[in-house]
């Protein structure tokens, strides 16, 4: 089954998790263009990502109950895969950078509880909300997976022309810093 964008933005995870013993899984390919925050810094995003997609794979489930409890906590596992066009920091041309988000989120009853538990937990801890914007969560995870510096595997620095004397093998690190500042 496939969900509309609107349905992805208003998910009751309790209802999803109650659907079966293993909860509920949804896999879908969504247009990359709807993730506008992720694309905020992509120049010319409209034309570059027109046909690109994000492959999303989520599962909502209740963890096994501890003895005496009727059921365990509600979890959401998120996987999302795409590629975004970023600017290569060496040649300053676009480079397609693969992104992979893979995150587990545990839900608790209140914001206070989430704040108290999130710091020590390996997973993300969020307060349960009956209408969760799962797309926003996926987008957050993708944004966090964007590398600080994007580079082609192999390319020449901007302004480089064939036959030019090669730069020293190990450039002075301070010269590199100065160059970075100039590029800003």
CA 88 to chain centre: 19
Chain positions 116 to 155 lying near Zn ion, rule: CB under 5 A, are 152, 155
Q: CA-CA distance, 97 to 78, in Å (whole number)?
A: 20
Chain positions 74 to 103 lying near Zn ion, rule: CB under 5 A, are 88, 90-91
Please state the closest distance from residue 149 (CB atom) to Zn ion, in A.
Answer: 11
Reference 28, options 60, 4, 61; nearest CA is 4
DSSP 3-state of 97: strand
CB atoms within 10 A of CB 173: 8
Helix, strand, coil fractions of the chain, as percent rounded to 5: 25, 30, 45
Chain positions 27 to 46 lying near Zn ion, rule: CB under 5 A, are none
Q: Which is nearer to Zn ion, 84 or 88 (CB)?
A: 88
Q: Which is nearer to Zn ion, 66 or 154 (CB)?
A: 154
Q: Which is nearer to Zn ion, 34 or 155 (CB)?
A: 155
- Number of shown-chain residues binding Zn ion (CB under 5 A): 5
Q: CA-CA distance, 128 to 132, in Å (whole number)?
A: 8
Q: Which is nearer to Zn ion, 86 or 138 (CB)?
A: 86
Chain positions 154 to 183 lying near Zn ion, rule: CB under 5 A, are 155
- Give the interface with Zn ion as residue ranges (CB under 5 A): 88, 90-91, 152, 155
């Amino acid at each position: 089954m496939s969900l509309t964008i609107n349905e992805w933005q208003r998910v009751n995870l309790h209802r999803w998790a109650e659907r079966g013993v293993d909860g509920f899984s949804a896999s879908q390919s969504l247009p990359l263009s709807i993730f506008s925050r992720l694309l905020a810094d992509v120049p010319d995003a409209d034309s570059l990502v027109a046909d690109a997609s994000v492959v999303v794979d989520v599962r909502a489930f209740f963890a096994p109950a501890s003895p005496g409890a009727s059921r365990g906590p509600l979890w959401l596992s998120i996987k999302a895969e795409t590629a975004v066009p970023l600017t290569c920091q060496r040649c300053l041309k676009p480079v397609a950078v693969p992104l992979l988000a893979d995150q587990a989120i545990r839900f608790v009853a209140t914001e206070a509880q989430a704040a108290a538990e999130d710091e020590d937990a390996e997973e993300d801890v969020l307060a349960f909300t009956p209408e969760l914007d799962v797309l926003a969560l996926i987008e957050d995870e993708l944004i966090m997976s964007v590398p600080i510096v994007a580079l082609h595997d192999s390319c020449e620095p901007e302004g480089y022309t064939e036959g030019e004397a090669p730069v020293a093998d190990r450039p002075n690190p301070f010269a590199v810093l100065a160059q970075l500042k100039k590029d800003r």
